[in-house]
Amino acid sequence: MSLYDPERDRVRIAGRWLRWSLSWIALPALLGVLVSANVDFRSLPVIGGERLSAVLFQDGQAYFGHLDDSGESGTLTLRDVYYFKNSDGGPTGVAVGLVRRGTEAHEPADGMRINRDRVLAIERVGLGSAVAQAIQVDRELAHASAGRVSLNPTTVAGTNALTAQRVAAEHDIARSWNAAVDQLRKINDLVLPVTKSEAQAITDKAVADLRTVRRNALAAIANKLGMSSAEADAYVRLTDPLLEGPSFANEPAVLLAPDIDAIVTRAVQLYTQVGDAAAKLLTEPKATPAPSPSARP
Amino acid sequence: MPTLGHSRYQAVFLTNGQTYFGRYYDRIGAYAKIEDVYYLQQVKSSDPDAAPDTRIVRRGRELHEPASRMLIPKSAILFIEDLTDASPIAQFMDRDTR
């Protein structure tokens, strides 16, 4: 009878421990290190807030929207897309304006397939950022729903954000109105080829036209916000006089939602047209009547 | 885990000429990740004849207030370098993130 008991063999016991620790400790640990280094847990589609991405292109252009990069092809898909246009020197004080993709001449459908080789970087947009706020207000204006069935429901602006955008737009319109009136005053300070009374009449007419543009812009904002015609009339009557006087000069710039930005931009274009027409009338010398030809030599 | 592994911070040079500084993570797949991203910004001096000042800016204060991590397609990366501990940029980032 052999005294050797395999159950008590130290080498075998050590081997069993080694196999156990390899399969239950070392392998899971290695797997954990690999997964944690390569998987961004915050990117997983778990229940949470909206995931708005910024896709920065190599040419400097930036697009914002819901990113789908799940495919193995060389493209990634961006939906509900917004992008920046150059608004340097514009009425909002922000160097860029936000544009909703789909409003271009070719009216592209939703879903932009982007060549990954042209992408410089991808970032998560902060939901409290100026870009996100403007997008949320745009959704509210379009009466978009929050999509509650989604794991990451889209965010729609509340009353406060909407009010902030409305007030910012009003002040942008007022600032541009002030600038247009100042320009007219400066022209009136020059030596003009028209009489004082003619200059006054031209200026008064131009200021009245500028006021009409301002009121129309306010009415357009009221319409965009979904006010009834009676509410819009009351809003314009109440707000218009408040915009005459204060300069609103040192206010922080606000990135406006695309539709509100379009109203402000249009108002500024019309201010410029009215101002230019008045400046032309004020500064162009009157045509002197040509001497009538004599019948006799 | 940073690929280079010897330094806390890396400089990532991109194909469009831009450089980002931060903690670089190589990952399986098409993208690499940079965390706590900084970049250099040229600021015009008040004197028009003077050269513009260069300052280092932490990414996150832009209009879209991006999160602290950035994904970059590996095809957009030209090369990556470790920053030494003595690097003024690394020291600035160390102080700033503390």
Average pLDDT, chain A: 86
% of chain B at pLDDT higher than 90: 56
Out of B1, B63, B66, closest to residue A255 by CB: B63
Q: At A218, list the tokens.
A: 């306010």
DSSP H helical ranges for A23-80:
27-38
Q: Given an 8 Å threshold on Cβ–Cβ distance, is B65 in contact with A116?
A: no
Q: Tell me the β-bridge partners of B12.
A: B20, B80
pLDDT > 70? residue A36: no
- Least confident stretch, A29-43, A139-153, A222-236: A29-43
Residues of chain B contacting residue A54, judged by C-beta atoms under 8 Å apart? 64, 66
**Span A7-26, pLDDT tens digits:** 788 888 888 888 888 888 88
φ and ψ of A113, to 5 deg: -90, 120
- Least confident stretch, A88-92, A97-101, A108-112: A88-92
Per-residue pLDDT at A213: 96
In 3D space, the residue among A282, A279, A277, A275 whose CA is nearest the CA of residue A196 turns out to be A282
Q: What angle do CA B53, A95, A93 make, to 5 degrees?
A: 110
pLDDT > 60? residue B3: no
Out of A38, A125, A128, closest to residue B66 by CB: A125
* Helix A258-283 and helix A196-224, axial crossing angle in degrees, nearest 10: 170
Cα separation, A174 vs A154, whole angstroms: 33
B61 touches chain A (CB under 8 A): no
Per-residue pLDDT at B9: 93
% of chain B at pLDDT higher than 70: 94
- Single-letter amino acid, residue A144: A
Quick one: average pLDDT of A86-104? 86
Q: Given an 8 Å threshold on Cβ–Cβ distance, is A130 in contact with B65?
A: yes
**Span A80-90, pLDDT tens digits:** 999 999 887 77
**Which residue did the predictor score with more confidence, B72 or A93?**
B72
Cβ-contact A155, A49 below 8 angstroms? yes
In 3D space, the residue among B75, B13, B18 whose CA is nearest the CA of residue A74 turns out to be B75
pLDDT > 90? residue A55: yes
- pTM, 2 dp: 0.78
Per-residue pLDDT at A230: 94
Per-residue pLDDT at A196: 87
Residues of chain B contacting residue A130, judged by C-beta atoms under 8 Å apart? 63-65
Any idea what DSSP says for residue A194? Answer: S
Cβ-contact A174, A248 below 8 angstroms? yes
Per-residue pLDDT at B2: 46
Cα separation, A38 vs A146, whole angstroms: 31
Per-residue pLDDT at A38: 61
% of chain A at pLDDT higher than 70: 87
Per-residue pLDDT at A71: 66
Residues of chain B contacting residue A64, judged by C-beta atoms under 8 Å apart? 64
Q: Given an 8 Å threshold on Cβ–Cβ distance, is B73 in contact with A116?
A: yes
Per-residue pLDDT at B19: 93
**Span B20-37, pLDDT tens digits:** 999 999 888 889 999 999
Number of Cβ pairs closer than 8 Å across A and B?
A: 79
Quick one: average pLDDT of A128-149? 85
* ipTM > 0.85, yes or no: no
Q: What angle do CA B55, B13, B74 make, to 5 degrees?
A: 135
H/E stretch holding A287: none
In 3D space, the residue among A61, A96, A59, A95 whose CA is nearest the CA of residue A78 turns out to be A61
DSSP H helical ranges for chain A:
10-21, 27-38, 130-141, 159-189, 196-224, 229-242, 258-283
**Span B37-82, pLDDT tens digits:** 999 998 887 777 777 888 999 999 899 999 999 999 999 999 999 9
Quick one: average pLDDT of A246-255? 87
Quick one: average pLDDT of A101-123? 89
pLDDT > 90? residue A192: no
Q: At A146, list the tokens.
A: 């929050």
Identity of the highest mean pLDDT range in A140-149, A167-176, B50-59: A167-176
Cα separation, A99 vs A18, whole angstroms: 62
Cα separation, A147 vs A156, whole angstroms: 10
Any idea what DSSP says for residue A1? Answer: -
